[in-house]
Amino acid sequence: MTAGTALRSGWRSPAATALVALATCTALGALSGLLAGGSWSWHAALAVAGTAAVVGGVRSLTRSTWLPSLAGLVAGAYGLLAWYATPPGSNPLLPGPGTVERAGQLFGQATQLIETSVVPMPVWPPVELVLVGAALLVFLAADLLAVGCGMPALAGLAYLAVWTPAVVLGFPGSTWALAATGFLYLLLLALAQVPVSRERGTRRAAVVVTAAAGLVVVTLAAGPVVAAVPAWSWLELPDVGTGAVGPVRLADDLDLRDSLREQSSQVVLRYTVDGVGSDDDDETDAPTATASLVGPLRSFTLRDFDGRTWQRDPEAQLAEWDPEGLLSSDPELVGAAPDAGRGTLADVRVEVGALREQRLPVSTFPRTVDIDGAWSYDLARDEVVGRGRTEVGTTYEMLVEVPDLSPELLRGSTGDLPDDVDGYLDVPGTEHEEDLRALAAEVTAGADTAYDQALALQTYFRDGTRFRYDTSVDAATTDDAVWDFLESRRGYCVQYATAMTVLARTLGIPARLGVGFLPGDIGSDQVYRVTGADAHAWPELYFPGTGWVRFEPTPAVQTGPPPAWSNPYSATAPSSSPSAAVPLPNAVPSAGTSTAPGSSGSGLPGGTTDDASRAPFVVAALLVAGVAAALGAVALRRRRGPAHRLTPELAWRRLRDRLQRAGITWSDAHTPRQAAATVRDQVLARRGRPLTPDGDRALSALARAVERDRYAPDPDAHEPAELQEWIATVLTDVSTSTRGESPEALPAQA
């Protein structure tokens, strides 16, 4: 007798099936961090026990490998249909077409609930149907591998599948469930050992059981000790998940074609706010009112957008700073002392939670930052950058200087733009670039100043009759992700913020993307808590003499009212108090506020400034300006933005990066000409025919441009638009050629 057949004969067979069933039930504890509890686990355990009885009974009557598992599958499916899917008034013992149809409807409902719920998710009956069915499949797979096929070691793969959601999402299950499952798995392996003599077999079994129990106990006891060893922190563990034990990080390569998955409910920041003073008030003690000044906490800004993806621009020079001096994107304020005469001062003390970032979340307004460790300031991006990442318990303090912004001040911000903002005017050269310019002109027709144009763009996007907040993104239809968003009119903050940024650039207004966190919610202890679900993106527009100013195009259902200086219904008069600068983080939603489908559940307020009742006024204003918009669209359709600083070398790197996503790669040792030949060969191998003539010409032209740029004493000059067109042509061709393999293998344009 071999180890493979030991579990298929005698008493070992039903014992092994019982162990597999017990291990399946304990493995369900992996989902305890994802689900809100309930009786579903008991129902799953009963279903597994009944199915195990059927499998064991059939196996005792036959030597077939597959028949016991097939009988268990049929019995389990019958039980699920009878218990969960029997239509009202029907006999549960006689499933029919109506039962199957109802089961399909319940499965569809369960899928929708799982996609739109937040952790911990309540277990509604449709979801319980899926959970119990999954438990039965796990048992049947583990039993087939361990007993039917005589490969008990592979049964661990079935249990690993149960733990995969908790590991990937970062919401750990029960530690005791993990220990129990591991213990039962080791017992199963011990049971599969070939018996020798009775005495030796008993002794070996005792040794294996004792060793398994000892291993589990030692693992549980040694975990905290090992974690406390200083050397453990030297290891850079992978960032897996965003749950209770997984670190939270903000992506800086935002892709407009990606749907938004469920956001982490972990607390990433805790902070308190104290009023220090202003030009009107010597001191303020109301933390809620003063906290409204701080606004969102920004981690970093982004400049470069290629039509689909945001990318980091080349690293700028970092500088040390005096903790007592202001940090600001305005060079005139860098290093200056805080001054209550310029606005309102607020003292913010922050403690880091489950956030692992090299860039420190700070207020969007000028501030001092006092933090221990090696931190520097990036003036070009207005970021506080560290050599390492933040850790749990990291603390820092900011003195925020909030300027008294008003519509009049921003309308009067005129003058020449500094040279260092030219890069913030680049518009991707996609097939819909002119359409975007025309739309921007139409939306802002009649706006005389850059501020009024920005206000018109923000109002356009926050109009609930036009756009809907949705975390699901439709598949690409063009090479321009912004245009696709404007066509579908559904998206989340990244789509809204990017669209306003790009449209503002077409109007000659420098714009960038800010990424960070919304203010969060205040507790009874007057401490604000920011979770991963508060992650947010917004546009910042540059006004001469004022600097970068935040706008909020994302609908109120997710963000609340816009800042006072960009509120279209209060922009006719200056703000009476700087404390009205931004919405209260813990404002209570007004009556009638709706929750967006797929909302992250962050608890952010839905405001009343963008009420649908005001939409007719906006529509009427746009209709009155229709004639002027049409004339402006014709004029601005021919208007080109400043030249994109795109070189042949940079274009070649962008093309290579995008092709790698589709599995088309080449070595650094290849010359551009050799790399182009490699691309042709790989495309031919994938689809059985070569690149189209247009794609081949574009690839060859770009390769020649790179060669001359690298090696020619006097390289040719190429317009950025020409280089961008070559990139888009090759990517579109390759994307079409590989579409049958993986729908998301290659961005159509980015």
The position carrying tokens 């070189």 is: 647
Query: How confident is the model at residue 403, as a pLDDT?
Result: 82
Tokens, residue 521: 């919610």
Mean pLDDT is highest, among 433-442, 631-640, 651-660, 664-673, for 433-442
Q: What is the 3-state secondary structure (H, E, C) of 58-116?
A: HHCCCCCCCHHHHHHHHHHHHHHHHHHCCCCCCCCCCCCHHHHHHHHHHHHHHHHHHHH
**Mean pLDDT across the chain:** 77
Segment 46-64 shows an average pLDDT of 90
Residue 427 contacts residue 433 (beta carbons within 8 Å): yes
Confidence label for 318 from pLDDT (cuts 50, 70 and 90): confident
Q: CA 630 to CA 636: how far, in whole Å?
A: 10
Q: CA 302 to CA 424: how far, in whole Å?
A: 9
Residue 699 contacts residue 728 (beta carbons within 8 Å): no
Q: What is the pTM of this model?
A: 0.48
Closest Cα to residue 428, out of 235, 633, 622, 640?
A: 640
Query: How confident is the model at residue 415, as a pLDDT?
Result: 81
Confidence label for 118 from pLDDT (cuts 50, 70 and 90): low
Tokens, residue 626: 């229709």
Query: What backbone torsions phi and psi does residue 165 show, to the nearest 5 degrees?
Result: -60, -40
pLDDT over 70 at 464, yes or no: yes
- Collect all residues with Cβ–Cβ distance below 8 Å to 11 and sequence separation of at least 6: none
pLDDT over 70 at 385, yes or no: yes
329-333, 522-526, 573-577: range with lowest mean pLDDT:
573-577
The DSSP-derived string for 130-180 is HHHHHHHHHHHHHHIIIIISS-GGGHHHHHHHHHHHHHHHT----HHHHHH
The CA-CA-CA angle for residues 672, 711, 305, to 5°, reads 60
DSSP letter at 355?
Answer: B
DSSP letter at 324?
Answer: T
The position carrying tokens 């820092």 is: 396
Confidence label for 19 from pLDDT (cuts 50, 70 and 90): very high
Cα dihedral 319, 321, 327, 332 in deg (nearest 10): -80
- Collect all residues with Cβ–Cβ distance below 8 Å to 498 and sequence separation of at least 6: 254, 256, 305, 310, 481, 482, 485, 513, 537, 539
Span 216-270, pLDDT tens digits: 555 555 544 444 444 333 333 333 333 334 578 888 788 998 888 767 778 899 9
Query: How confident is the model at residue 590, as a pLDDT?
Result: 31
Segment 439-463 shows an average pLDDT of 93
Confidence label for 555 from pLDDT (cuts 50, 70 and 90): confident
pLDDT over 60 at 65, yes or no: yes
**92 compared with 345, residue with greater pLDDT:** 345
Query: How confident is the model at residue 571, as a pLDDT?
Result: 54
Q: CA 86 to CA 460: how far, in whole Å?
A: 49
